[in-house]
């Protein structure tokens, strides 16, 4: 199991969000956002990705959910690494179900590489989830989606947001993933903000409204 930070873990929560950070960050990265959301009825789990060499960064070791070879749409993708991490996140979800939280009250969230992992895992998970929060991100291995998606999560609410000034993952890359998801039958709620590869206050307000809708108290 991954090391993690847990917020609002007093045992009374009936909902859980597993929030995956971006490349090179750690679980602390979104702690301030969780505090701003002010949702005490929801348990938040903020795991730390393991350290691994990242090809894009000259093999430098950093926290990463999988290896990255390039950020272009035709770049090679680390299929083995993505699928291995999917298994790990599945186990985290199943541990929360075993603790008594129904799968329909568990949501996956992530920023950048963490958002890619959240989209990949949720669309393939074999029990219905509450939704996905996909921030400044893309869908990895998207040509496999129709073959690998699980029917249990076809009704999955997907909330995607991107910055118009994002120079790390371009707006076009994220929009292409949105189109792939919609073509596969998912309802995607799309938001754009005037920001770079980051989050902004207006976005956090909108996230809060989405979470209150899909995880009502």
pLDDT in tens, 165-183: 999 999 999 999 999 999 9
* C-alpha closest to that of 63 among 121, 21, 101: 21
Whole-model pTM? 0.97
The pLDDT value given to residue 76: 93
Q: Specify the higher pLDDT residue, 57 or 74.
A: 57
b/e map 192-209, b = 16+ CB within 10 Å: ebebebbbeeebeebbee
Q: Which candidate in 103, 166, 174, 177 is catalytic?
A: 166
Concatenated DSSP letters for 75-117? S-B-HHHHHHHHHHHHHHHHHHHHTT--GGGEEEEEETHHHHH
The pLDDT value given to residue 210: 98
State mean pLDDT over 11-17: 87
Assess whether pLDDT exceeds 90 at residue 10.
no
Assess whether pLDDT exceeds 90 at residue 71.
no
Q: Which candidate in 21, 120, 162, 197 is catalytic?
A: 197
The pLDDT value given to residue 57: 93
Q: Which residues make beta-bridge pairs with 61?
A: 53
Cα 75 to Cα 68, 69, 119, 180, 182, distances in angstroms: 9, 6, 19, 17, 23
Q: Which candidate in 112, 136, 174, 177 is catalytic?
A: 112
CA distance 204 to 28: 17
Q: Specify the higher pLDDT residue, 193 or 70.
A: 193
State mean pLDDT over 109-135: 98
State mean pLDDT over 117-128: 98
Assess whether pLDDT exceeds 90 at residue 97.
yes
Active site residue 205: no
The pLDDT value given to residue 38: 94
- To the question of domain 4-214 being in CATH 3.40.50.1820, the answer is yes
Active site residue 127: no
- What is the chain's mean pLDDT, rounded? 95
The pLDDT value given to residue 13: 82
Active site residue 112: yes
Give me the residue spans of the domains in the chain: 4-214
Assess whether pLDDT exceeds 90 at residue 36.
yes
Using CB atoms within 10 A of its CB, is residue 49 exposed (0-12), middle (13-18) or buried (19+)?
buried
Contacts of 66 (CB under 8 A, 6+ apart): 52, 78, 81, 82, 84, 85, 113, 117, 140
The pLDDT value given to residue 217: 83
State mean pLDDT over 129-145: 97
């Amino acid at each position: 199991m991954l090391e993690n930070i847990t917020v609002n873990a007093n045992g009374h929560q009936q909902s859980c969000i597993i929030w995956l950070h971006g490349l090179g960050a750690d679980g602390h990265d979104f702690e301030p956002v969780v505090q701003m959301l002010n949702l005490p009825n929801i348990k938040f789990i903020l795991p730390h990705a393991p350290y691994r060499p990242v090809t894009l960064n000259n093999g430098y070791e950093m926290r990463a959910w999988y290896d990255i070879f390039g950020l272009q749409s035709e770049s090679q993708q680390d299929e083995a690494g993505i699928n291995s991490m999917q298994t790990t996140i599945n186990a985290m979800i199943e541990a929360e179900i075993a603790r008594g939280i129904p799968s329909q009250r568990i949501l996956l969230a992530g920023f950048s590489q963490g958002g890619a992992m959240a989209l990949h895992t949720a669309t393939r998970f074999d029990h219905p989830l509450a939704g996905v929060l996909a921030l400044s991100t893309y869908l990895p291995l998207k040509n496999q989606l129709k073959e690998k998606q699980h029917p249990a999560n076809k009704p999955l609410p997907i909330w995607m947001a991107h910055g118009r000034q994002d120079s790390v993952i371009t707006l076009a890359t994220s929009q292409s993933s949105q189109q792939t998801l919609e073509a596969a039958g998912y309802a995607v709620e799309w938001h754009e903000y005037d920001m770079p590869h980051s989050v902004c206050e207006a976005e956090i307000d909108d996230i809060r409204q989405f979470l209150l809708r899909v995880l009502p108290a």
